[in-house]
Every structure is written in C-alpha cells, then in structure tokens.
Structure 1
Amino acid sequence: MAGPSPFLIDEPVSQLGRNLTYGLLDSIGRAIVTGQFDNAVFPTEAELAKQHGVSRSVTREAVKMLTAKGLLSARPRQGTTVQPTSSWNLFDTDVLRWMLERQLSVDLLRQFNELRVAVEPEAAALAAQVAGEDDIKRIDEGLQRMQAAERGLDEPLDADIAFHVAVLRASKNPFYIQLRDVVSTALRTSIRFTNRIKGRTADVAEHAKVRDAIASRDPAAARIAMRRIIGDVLDLIEVRLPSDE
C-alpha cells in the first residue's frame, strides 16, 4: 500500500517551523536582554540548535530576525556577537516587551512616557483638525469601554489602550499611527505601574476632556488635555524614582 502523500504534511510542518522559530526567537531574545550573554561568547548556530533541540534552519532564521532587531551582529570571521543596547531597535515590540519584562524599570517607563508626551498631545491636536466621524466614533467607543471598565464590565488595560490608539489613528499621520503597537505594548506595563501607585484605574473624566476637545475641533484644548494625562503619569513616576533606582 502506498504511503501518504508528502504534500499532505507540508502546511503543518511549515506552521511548526514558524512556531519553533518564534519560540527560539523569544527565548534567545529574552536571554540577550536579561544579560545572560554578557561577558560570554555567543553560541554558534550549531550550538544553539543542539541546546534548544531545533534544526539549523530554524536557528538560522531566529538569528537573522534577532539581527534585524539590532540585538545581534553576524560578520564573516567574527561570528555572531551581542550588540550594545544602543543598537537595539526600541520601536520593535518584541524588544520593548523583553526590556519591560526583564525587571520593572521605572527609568525605562519614564523614558517611554517622555516619548508619549512628545507625540500623543500633538496627535490629539491633529485629530481635532482632521479626524473623521468614524475616528471620533472609535475614540468615543474607547471612552465608553473605560467607563464600562469602571463598572467591572470591561478590561481596564484594554479599554485605556483602545482609547489612546484611537487618538493616534485619528491624527491621520502615518508616523504617529505606526507607533500604535509600541504604545500598546509599553502601556500595558506603564498602566499597571501607575495604577498600582494610585490604587485606581485611569481618570476617565480627563480622557473625556480629550474626546470632547477633538469632537469640538479644538486643537489647543485637545493638546492640553492629553498632555495633562501623560504629565500625571510622569509625576507619579518621578515621585517613585528615588526609591526604585
């Protein structure tokens, strides 16, 4: 009897390969960010394959992806080396997630929110000028989710993130919009941190002021309202910094 056609397993094997690659990417990436390779020679592809029980092709692909993220450098006759933090792509959501997960860094949260305060108030001001009705509807839906979360009917983190991402999208600026994944990733840590200090979730009334200003086509008010939200976060972080450094 003829055996099964090899073509029947192509897709499952392909999917398995992708899962193995991303699993290895996550494992090595986290190890690099947490300093496990500091002052140590980075393993060869053959050694990594053996250590993790995967094929050389899976290892090669994971190393290639980590190189693209700025964590590794592979050069002829020099091998593969871990790059300094200054070379890492901090706008890559995997890199940012690994950095935030390695140990809660209040200083990193401050730096992230300094980026936010430079971007989100201007995005809100732009949204007040150019947002369409669908954009304002999404912002309003985010606010409604925040209100529902206060009553225990939605997830506070997801609701808060939905609001801020909706404002970025409403700016119509492609550079601001592409920051949505970075903002979403980092906000998950930032919001947990600030909520733990405040003992409550985000101030819905302050977020409503941003929504109202955008809906009223008032760029100055939108900018001020968003700056106040992020400024409050920065104030909380500055208060906490001396005891966490």
Structure 2
Amino acid sequence: MQPIDPHSPGVMPSGLHASVVDQMGLAIGAGEWAAGSVMRIEELEERYGVSRSVIREVLRVLASMGMVESRRRVGVQVLPATEWNLYDRQVIRWRLASPGRVAQLRSLTELRTAVEPQAARLAALRAPVADASELMGLAGKLWAAGQDGDTELFLALDIQFHRLVLSSSGNEMFGKLNSLVAEVLTGRTHYSLMPEHPHDEALQLHVDVASAIQRRNPVDAHHSMLAIMERAMTEMSTLWDEAAHK
C-alpha cells in the first residue's frame, strides 16, 4: 500500500484543522474581525498558510457556532456576538481569552447565580444517597486543598463538586451546564481572578451545601449555594477594581 501524502488534496494533516479553528475563533472572539467584517477565503489561505479545503471546513465549523455566515455576492461575514452559540464550550473559552473576559465572566457568573442555587435545592430533594455522600467527601477534600494552597487540585475538585450538584438535581438541562461551569472556574483560576487562597467562609459554604443536600434540606442547600455565588461575584468585583487601578 502506498503511504498517504498529507499534502494531497482532500487530506488534512492531523491537528491542523483544529489549530486553525482555534486561531480564527480566538481572533473573532478578541474582536480582530468586528461584526460585519467580510473574510476573503484567499486572504485566509495566505494568513494561515493552509489550503482552501481546510479554510472552507474551518468556516463551516465557525458557522455552526453562529460566528460567521456565508452570504452570496458578499463573502463570509462575521456575525455579532448576539448570534453566537454562547453556551458552546469553545466559544466560552475564546471569549475568556479575549480582552472582554471580565464582561464574559460576569455574564457567566450571573447565569450560575440563577441556576446553581436552584440545582442545589433540587439535589436536596432528589440526589441519590451515593451522590450526597460523594459531595460531602468532595467538600472535605476541597477544604484540605484550599488550606494547602494547591490551586490545581482545588480547581479540579471544585469543578467536580459543582458538576455533581448540577447532575444530582435530576434536571437534565441543569446537568448539561456542567461544561460551562468548568470553563468559568478554569478561566477564573488561569486568569488570576481567584483569591490566592480560598477564604475559610467559601470553604465552609461548600461543606454547608453538601451537608444540606445530605440532610435533605432544600432551603439550606439553596441558601448556601446562593451565598457561594454571591461571594464569587464580590471576589471578582474586588479583583476587577484592583486591576483597573494598577
């Protein structure tokens, strides 16, 4: 059998397509192409050093996310952010990497504030015993990681904790928001929008949420999760103010 030439027509080198999708998504997210801008395929071929077939496939992916649209006699036009699939994990990641990350984090945290306290309330009513026990274990591990200053472990455990609350709610729509929450928590950590060491009150609130769910107390579960969300907003607001005055 003859080896496949990776440069032959119709064959895409491994990782190239994903790389160009990521580069173009980041550029659009950062506003390098403003809404209404027209992209010329020939210019994109030259800019990214890839074939026309690769560019066309990349544009199809971006179009599926609502970021661009092919228009007859016009070309490929960049759409306003209001048209994007703002719940898509990649779109969230690109927006968090942009100069507008603060506004994106604020929007996402406001959404979490609306959803996660209700998810915790429902989890207190519906969570399987095994899930409630796992939440208590995660809350304890979170406390230890926070006290030790292990940022990466704390992030991983925090993502697990909030993902489990969402799934334990028994509401499949809430459960599907787990990737969004993971991106918010990751973005806050990687862009230094988290306190260097989690406050004891924040750690205790996670324990309180888990305890309320295990005790089947929906009112306490809702209240404690709401307190976590409000604290996150306060922490970010303080950090934003500090950054603005540097």
Deviation per CA, 1:53-90, whole angstroms, max 9, x where unpaired?
A: 22222211110111111111112222100111111111
For structure 2, the 5+ residue unaligned runs are none
Deviation per CA, 1:77-124, whole angstroms, max 9, x where unpaired?
A: 221001111111110111111111113643332221110110000000
Alignment correspondent of 1:98: 94
Aligned length: 237
Alignment correspondent of 1:184: 182
Alignment correspondent of 2:158: 160
Distance verdict in 2 for CA 1:51–1:108, change over 3 Å: closer
Per the TM alignment, residue 15 of structure 1 is displaced from its structure 2 partner at its CA by 9.6
**1:204 counterpart = 2:203:** yes
Alignment correspondent of 1:21: 17
Match of 1:144 among 132, 140, 146: 140
Deviation per CA, 1:2-53, whole angstroms, max 9, x where unpaired?
A: xxx14x6599x99964511110000011111111123885332233223222
Distance 1:39 1:175 in 2: 30
Distance 2:89 2:225 in 1: 23
Distance verdict in 2 for CA 1:223–1:241, change over 3 Å: same
Distance verdict in 2 for CA 1:104–1:200, change over 3 Å: farther
Counterpart code for 2:172: P
CA contact (8 A) 2:131 2:168 kept: yes
Distance 1:172 1:191 in 2: 28
Per the TM alignment, residue 194 of structure 1 is displaced from its structure 2 partner at its CA by 4.6
Alignment correspondent of 2:70: 74
Alignment correspondent of 1:233: 232
Distance 2:93 2:176 in 1: 17
CA contact (8 A) 1:17 1:58 kept: no
What value does the CA root-mean-square deviation take over the aligned residues?
2.7
Distance 2:39 2:198 in 1: 44
Distance verdict in 2 for CA 1:104–1:36, change over 3 Å: closer
Distance verdict in 2 for CA 1:65–1:39, change over 3 Å: closer
Distance verdict in 2 for CA 1:210–1:40, change over 3 Å: closer
Counterpart code for 2:169: S
Counterpart code for 2:128: G
Counterpart code for 1:230: M
Match of 2:53 among 51, 57, 61: 57
**Partner SS, residue 195 of structure 1:** coil
Distance 1:9 1:136 in 2: 53
| Superposition TM-score, scaled by structure 2 size | 0.85
| Superposition TM-score, scaled by structure 1 size | 0.85
Distance 2:32 2:103 in 1: 21
Distance 2:163 2:11 in 1: 31
CA contact (8 A) 1:66 1:72 kept: yes
**Partner SS, residue 186 of structure 1:** helix
Write out aligned runs for 1:103-118 (5 A): 103=99, 105-118=101-114
**1:131 counterpart = 2:127:** yes
CA contact (8 A) 2:39 2:78 kept: no
Higher helix share: 1
Distance 1:171 1:185 in 2: 20
CA contact (8 A) 1:194 1:233 kept: no
Counterpart code for 1:166: L
CA contact (8 A) 1:156 1:201 kept: no
Alignment correspondent of 1:87: 83
